[in-house]
Amino acid sequence: MRAILRRTATSPVAQFLAAGLVVLLVVAVGSLVLSRRAADHEAVADARATTELLARSVVQPALRRGLVSGDAGAVDRFDRTMLRKLLVGDVQRIKIWRGDGRIVYSDETRLIGSRYPLGEEELQVLHHGTSDAEISDLSRPENRFERGMGGLLEVYTRVRSPEGKPLLFEVYYSSADIARRRQDVYDAFSPITVGGLLALVLVTTPLLWVLTRRLDRAGRDRERLLLAAADASESERRRIARDLHDGVVQDLAGTSFALAAALRDPATDRATSARLEPLTASLRRSLRALRSLLVEIYPPDLRADGLAAALGDLVAPAAGAGVAASVQVDEVDAASEDAVRLVWRVAQEAVRNTLRHADASRLDVHVRREGDRLLLDVDDDGQGLRPAGSAAPGGRRGEGPGIGLRSLRDLIREAGGTLEVRSAPDRGTSVHLEVGA
């Protein structure tokens, strides 16, 4: 289950869909916020336009003489003719104010004749004939009858009585209208933004899926080719190693034995023995070096029971380089061939690094099993690895753990193993591998 989840999480299509979903959410929320702003602005603008239209076209022509002075008959006639015309749509309340703050008309008749001080903005509208809008402050006494109506937007503009007195015409709109307009704007924009993005995701997902499949297929083909190349290379190395082992190595071994026999022969004089002895030693060293090379080219037996011998051959050149090498392999008989092969390759790389670069005097290779894990430790007491990019003694630049080991990391990770390289300048290097046995 965890593997399926991990595979799904690393799938490019799943990642694309997840990213698309996040973008979709961001766009949706952004659209909502922007549409709210736009709708609020739109609603206020609409309310102002409606109010100005009502003021010019309905209220102003219907104003009667006497209304401004509170004449009851004028109020009655205005009320009877205007009430149904004004309380339309989302208009919740109408008030007509005198400049001194007296309400000369309202559909809430209890307000008629009351007096409340006008605010600065209302007075400005009254004097300059513009219009303004604001959210109603329902805590004010003149708005006490609107408290049960929820949020209200009040818009006011100026009208003139037949006597020429400026009056403030005030209309209260329900905030439900603003919410509806907000929803209208969002509904208008969301198909373009959210829907467009959704359509893009829907269109591109199959394309991405097809592309991913092609890339996967190409990757598998490349892997197959690499494996075929590796097999071919291994076959070739095996052939070369076998030819060298059966030919040159056998010949050199025979020559070495013959020379050793000649040295032991009493008939061989001292002067001849003195000349032959270094030649024999040199021949033995060359033979050892050749056997190590053969092991490197193609390990003779990479099964668990042959690992100790192969590692022994691997470190054979150490003696010639003045490095005291030891190999210890404990209870790895039941380990799989893949694990043993991986241990061999890491050991090969680590030993090669030590012999070539470490200037070490000691090299220890230890393979053991702990539970279901196969462990490899390769330790030396050499100069250690320099941090990548730093200057090493002799002017050589440091290269970190080495290209060979770094290139093995992917292989180790795929096998479910871990590789740890601990090193410090002049304090040696330790390579530790753990892999499933």
Partner 1 sequence: MNQSSSPSNRPTGARRLAVAAVVTAVAAGGALSAAPAQAKGGDDVVHRGTCAGSTHWKLKVGPDDGRLEVEGEIDSNHVGQSWNWRILHNGSTSASGTATTKAPSGSFEVRRTVVNLRGTDTVTFRARNAKSGALCSGTVRI
User: Which residues of this protein are in contact with partner 1, per CB under 8 A?
Assistant: 66, 71-77, 79-80, 108-110, 112-114
**Measured from the CB of residue 129, what is the shortest distance to partner 1 in angstroms?**
28
DSSP line for 23-70 = HHHHHHHHHHHHHHHHHHHHHHHHHHHHHHHHIIIIIHHH--TTTTTT
**Measured from the CB of residue 74, what is the shortest distance to partner 1 in angstroms?**
7
Residues near 378 by beta carbon (within 8 Å), at least 6 away in sequence: 346, 347, 350, 351, 354, 363, 364, 365, 366, 430, 431
Comparison of 105 and 173: residue with beta carbon closer to partner 1:
105
The CA-CA-CA angle for residues 311, 312, 315, to 5°, reads 85
Contacts by 36-45, CB closer than 8 A, 24 or more apart:
36/182, 36/186, 38/185, 38/189, 39/178, 39/181, 39/182, 39/183, 39/184, 39/185, 39/186, 40/178, 40/182, 42/181, 42/185, 43/153, 43/173, 43/177, 43/178, 43/181, 43/182, 44/133, 44/153, 44/155
Comparison of 104 and 363: residue with beta carbon closer to partner 1:
104
Comparison of 112 and 367: residue with beta carbon closer to partner 1:
112
Comparison of 113 and 247: residue with beta carbon closer to partner 1:
113
**Measured from the CB of residue 199, what is the shortest distance to partner 1 in angstroms?**
54
**Measured from the CB of residue 168, what is the shortest distance to partner 1 in angstroms?**
19
Comparison of 73 and 320: residue with beta carbon closer to partner 1:
73
**Measured from the CB of residue 106, what is the shortest distance to partner 1 in angstroms?**
9
CB-side neighbour CA atoms (13 Å) of 357: 21
Comparison of 169 and 298: residue with beta carbon closer to partner 1:
169
Token pair recorded at residue 187: 């509904």
Torsion of CA 238, 244, 247, 252, to 10 degrees: -150
**Measured from the CB of residue 89, what is the shortest distance to partner 1 in angstroms?**
20
Comparison of 65 and 222: residue with beta carbon closer to partner 1:
65
**Measured from the CB of residue 82, what is the shortest distance to partner 1 in angstroms?**
12
